[in-house]
Amino acid sequence: MLNQIVLVGRLVRDIQVNSSDSGKKIATITLAVPRSFKNRDGIYETDFFDCTLWDTAAINTSNYCKKGDIVGIKGRIQSKIIEEDDRPNKNEIQIIAEKVTFLSTKRDIDNK
């Protein structure tokens, strides 16, 4: 069985690294990934994916990448059950990044 996802897109905002209750470093990034086809109006739509980075991946990505940079994410999809007293349980899908590849910075593109 296989649970793997690969995304390439632009960072929507600068990255902030926080610490979990156990002391591990964690960051959530949002990737803007354009679709490979046009809609009825002839426009490429964009999907936005939240990805969770842990420890070294979170620290390195925050140190070297900024809003607008292009990164590649290789990771897995994980589900999490959210229990609330007054509502039925909700299944939340999360993308956990296991590897982040720095592909291009916005500054590199602007300087060409």
Q: What percent of the chain has pLDDT over 70?
A: 94
Domain count, the chain: 1
**Full residue range of the structural domain in which residue 64 is found:** 5-110
> Which pTM value belongs to this model?
0.81
Mean pLDDT of the chain: 90
**CA-CA distance, 104 to 58, in Å (whole number)?**
18
Tens of pLDDT, residue by residue over 14-64, are: 999 999 889 999 999 999 999 999 999 999 999 999 999 999 999 999 999
pLDDT at res. 91: 87
Lowest mean pLDDT, pick from 3-7, 82-86, 101-105: 82-86
Task: Tell me which residue of 96, 46, 105 sits closest to 70, measured CA to CA.
Answer: 105
CATH number at residue 70: 2.40.50.140
